[in-house]
Amino acid sequence: MVELLCQHCNYRWDYHGETRFYATCPRCRYKVRIPGEAARRVRLKRLRKNMEREAGDEKKTARLIGVAAIVKGVVEEYSRDRSMMIQVLLRLQKSFGWLPRDVLTEASKQLKVPLSHVYQIATFYKVFSLAPRGRHLIRVCMGTSCKVRGAEQILEQIQGLLKIESGETTPDGNFSLETTKCLGCCGPGPVMTVDGKYYVNLKPAEAKLVLRRYVR
Ligand code: FES
């Protein structure tokens, strides 16, 4: 920051911009020359910004190389077979916790299928997530059988406790909440899973006890 004085209207102001030689007076739009020391500071500021940008680019490149290597490993495990796309995406989701855009792009490149097709699959199946998930994934079954046994109250109880809606993640990143149509064990409903572990015959008060086990 440097203090500048406009020779045209005598207005003084603190300059935070990035131009090296001239600044525009905010009052009269007159071009004011930035003095030598000020120009040096502006230059330093710009240099620092460039260095930060380059460091960011390097980080990005390193991540892309890492992503490419992981995707390659998974794709080769399935012999680059395009018909195994769902399995490939499941494995990638397990590795990354979710499916970021650069991972899907890399999978599309390595399997030689259009990116739109990869997205079709990733958005069609509820098991895939295109947004970061919390450390613990809660799935509440809202299938007919669980619904008639009180799944809605379980869901309401969990939403109230975590203060999130279905499809959201708690601000501390500990829980993500999802609903599903059927978890495949309709008899002892209502059912919910936490990180794949089944909890059956649930009562709303029990849901609270279950969640307590996963609080950090
Ligand atoms: S309806 Fe809930 S497990 Fe099938």
Rounded-to-integer distance, Cα 179 and Cα 192, Å: 9
Q: Residues near ligand 1 with C-beta < 6 Å?
A: 141, 143, 145-146, 182-186, 189, 191
Q: What are phi and psi of 59, to 5 degrees?
A: -60, -45
Mean of the per-residue pLDDT values of the chain: 87
Which secondary-structure segment (H or E) carries 194? Answer: strand 192-194
**Spatial separation of the C-alpha atoms in residues 202 and 216, rounded to whole Å:** 22
Distance, CA 154 to ligand 1 centroid (Å)? 13
Average pLDDT on 157-166 reads 91
Topology of the domain covering 136-212? Glutaredoxin (3.40.30)
Q: Is 32 helix (H, G, I), strand (E, B) or coil?
A: strand
CA of 92 to the centre of ligand 1 (A): 27
Tens digit of each residue's pLDDT (9 = 90 or more) over 85-122: 999 999 999 888 889 998 999 999 999 999 999 999 99
Q: If you take atom 1 of ligand 1, which residue's CA is the nearest one?
A: 143
CB 141 within 8 A of CB 199: no
CA–centroid distance, residue 88 to ligand 1 (Å): 27
> For the chain, what percent of residues have pLDDT higher than 90?
39
pLDDT digits over 14-32, tens only? 888 877 778 889 889 888 8
> For residue 43, is pLDDT > 80?
no
| Residue 103 Cα to ligand 1 middle (Å) | 32
Question: Please, are residues 135 and 170 in contact by the beta-carbon 8 Å criterion?
Answer: no
The pick from 126, 139, 140, 146 for probing ligand 1's pocket by mutation, whose C-beta has the most ligand atoms within 8 angstroms, reads 146
Whole-number Å distance, alpha carbon 101 to ligand 1 midpoint, is: 32
pLDDT at 210 over 80: yes
Distance CA 161, CA 110 (A): 43
For residue 138, pLDDT over 90 is answered with yes
Ligand 1 atom closest to the CA of 182, numbered from 1: 4
Give CA–CA dist 34/98, Å, rounded: 50
Q: Would you list the domain boundaries of the chain?
A: 2-34, 56-124, 136-212
For residues 21 and 6, which has the higher predicted lDDT (pLDDT)?
A: 6
27-35, Cβ contacts within 8 angstroms, sequence gap of 24 or more: 30/6, 32/4, 32/5, 32/6, 32/7, 32/8, 34/2, 34/4, 35/2
Q: What is the mean pLDDT of residues 147-161?
A: 92
- Which of 126, 139, 140, 145 is the best mutation target for the ligand 1 pocket, counting ligand atoms within 8 Å of the beta carbon and taking the most? 145
What pTM was estimated for this model as a whole? 0.58
